[in-house]
Structure 1
């Protein structure tokens, strides 16, 4: 670990930017149709249970990275392997978000630009930021957080002013009952984006006031969840369920419909700026966790040296991860959740907490 400290407010801002990240980009929970907002809300509320698990592990080992306390809980051999699996996952997730960015940029403004060039430009900026350390990342977040919210508020006001909201598109509520909504919750929204914050277990040891960790994590997840619920309510009420489900980037389609007084239109740049900010911080956090985790696991004294080689790996993974955008989205929304998210976000952390609890109880008795 580098010798740095961050405040609870900085952690809060970073978590909100991370959770909004690429979640604003895709038609989140649209399998629940007009009840997508409810699936997001329930996913956020249930995710607080897993966030409590992550916090308890941090509470048992406040000064250790997960790559360290996994070795204490499971032994050096199994703990090292498990820590390496999480590092690989962070790199894989970073490459997926980078691919989201590239596809968005090409679809939005640069259809003739190679995907590699678009991804490489963002990756170079991220590598530069990571080399400067966690304090530079959180300070950048403080600057851009307010800017992103100003854009969101202006966009919301313009959508209302344009008279685009049709509340009838949100009805009937629970048309097919609660079961389809719960299915979406436990296969999608519980894991993406809310429990992806497991990556912040790599950053919590930098917190200057450990007592504020739990409330900060809960509040950040709550605000992110409310923002995503409002976004999906707007998307469905403006576009309708069918158009939202068919749109590759529904929020972009919503923003493109804004027209005020026959002259204020084509405000796609609002969407673009907000997405670039969110995606930049999401990749930065994932990549930073992979870098310091690798440095810790393999005893590298200067973590910044790893940023270039690992950055190249993430860049090339983002290109080779799927042959086209449809395959990429299918893999992310259908396949990855069952193979990676459920075991890495839910099963393994609960088992780790159970073993840590038993070990610490024995120590207390001793």
Structure 2
């Protein structure tokens, strides 16, 4: 670990930007139709349970990275293997987010630019930031957070004032009952984006006031959940369920439809900046966790050296992960949820906590 500290407010901002990240781009929870906003809200509520699991593991080992305490909990061999799996997961997740933003830039701004070039430019900036350390990432988040929220408030005012919102697009609520919504919650929104914050277990040891960790994690997830709920309410009320489901990037499609006083229109370029901010922070945190996790696992004294090789691996994965964007989305929202997210974000942390609890109780008895 580098000798650095971040405040609770910086952790809060990083978590909010991380969770908004790529979740603002995609038609999140649209399988629940007009109840997508409810699926997001319930996903946020249920994610609090897993957040408390991550925090409890942190309280058992407050000065250790997960790559270290996994070895203490499961033993050297099993712990090392599991830690390596988590590092690979962080890199895979970073490559998926990078692909999301590369595709968005090509669709809305640079249609003739190769995907690899768009991804490479973003990745070079991220690698430069990673080499500066967690404190620089946190300070960047503070500056970008203000800019992103100014754009968000401006966009909300413009959408309302342009008279695009149709409340009837949100009706009827719970047309097919609660079961379809709960199905989406436990197969999608519980994991993406809320419990992806398991990545912050790699950053919690840098917190200057560990007592604030739990409240910060819960408040950040609550704020991002409310923001995503409002975003999906606006998307569906403006575009309708069918168009939201068919759109690759529904938020930008919503912004494109803004037209105020016959001269304020085609504002999607400005709001792309806000989305790129979220992507930049999310990929930076994922790559940073992969870098310090690898350095810790393999006893590398200078973690910053790993930023270039791991960054280029992520860049290559982003370009080859799927043959087109539709396949990329299907893998992310269907296949990946069951194969990766469920075991890595829910099952394994629960098992780790159980074993850690039993070991801790045994020590107390002795």
Cross-structure match for 1:216: 216
Aligned to 1:30: 30
Question: What does residue range 89-104 of structure 1 map to in structure 2 within 5 Å?
Answer: 89-104=89-104
Superposition CA RMSD, Å = 0.4
Give the match for residue 180 of structure 1: 180
Distance across 1 between alignment mates of 2:257 and 2:235: 11
1:306-329 CA-to-partner distances (Å, cap 9, x unmatched) read: 001111100000001001101100
- Paired with 1:279 and 1:90, the residues of 2 have a C-alpha distance of 14
1:286 alignment partner, SS class:
helix
* Pair 1:340-2:329 in alignment: no
How far apart, CA to CA, are the structure 1 residues paired with 2:148 and 2:270?
Answer: 9
CA distance in 2, matches of 1:264, 1:199: 40
How many Å separate the matches in 2 of 1:146 and 1:126?
Answer: 20
- The separation in 2 between residues aligned to 1:332 and 1:301, in whole angstroms, is 35
Contact 1:50 1:346 in 2 (8 A): yes
Partner SS, residue 220 of structure 1: helix
Q: Which residue of 1 aligns with 2:65?
A: 65
What secondary structure does 1:264 align onto? coil
- Which position in structure 2 is the counterpart of 1:7? 7
Is the contact between residue 291 and residue 306 of structure 2 (CA under 8 Å) also seen in structure 1? yes
TM-score, normalising length: structure 1: 1.00
Native 8 Å contact 2:101 2:276 kept in 1: yes
Partners of 1:307 and 1:260 in 2: CA distance? 45
- Matches of 1:11 and 1:220 in 2, distance apart? 9
For residues 246 and 264 of structure 1, what CA distance do their matches in structure 2 show? 26
Q: How many angstroms does 1:356 deviate by? A: 0.2
Count, aligned residues: 366
Gaps of 5+ in 1: none
How far apart are residue 72 of structure 1 and its match?
A: 0.1
SS of residue in 2 equivalent to 1:295: helix
Question: What SS does structure 2 have at the residue aligned with 1:140?
Answer: helix
What is the rounded CA distance, in whole Å, between the counterparts of 2:286 and 2:303 in structure 1? 14
Residue of structure 2 equivalent to 1:49: 49
Contact 2:109 2:269 in 1 (8 A): no
Name the residue aligned to 1:361. 361
Supply the distance in 2 between the matched residues of 1:109 and 1:9 (Cα, whole angstroms).
Answer: 34
Contact 1:188–1:337 (Cα < 8 Å) also in 2 = yes
Segment of structure 1 superposing worse, 317-326 or 262-271: 262-271
Deviations 1:26-71 (A, max 9, x none): 0000000000000000000000000000000000000000000000
CA distance in 2, matches of 1:235, 1:337: 23
Partner Cα distance (1:101, 1:241) in 2:
23
Q: CA deviation at 1:269?
A: 1.9
Unaligned runs of 5+ in 2: none
Distance in 1 between residues matched to 2:271 and 2:357, nearest whole Å: 45
Say if 2:138 is the partner of 1:138. Answer: yes
Whether 2:307 is the aligned partner of 1:307: answer: yes
Instruction: Give structure 1 regions of 4+ aligned residues with deviation exceeding 3 angstroms.
Output: none
**Structure-2 separation of matches of 1:359 and 1:294:** 26
The question of whether the paired residues in 1 share the 8 Å contact of 2:108 and 2:269 is answered with no
Question: Hey, what's the Cα distance between the residues in 2 that align with 1:304 and 1:90?
Answer: 17
The structural deviation recorded for 1:217 is 0.1
Deviation at 1:365, TM superposition (A): 1.0
1:325 matches 2:320: no
1:260 aligns to what SS in structure 2?
Answer: coil
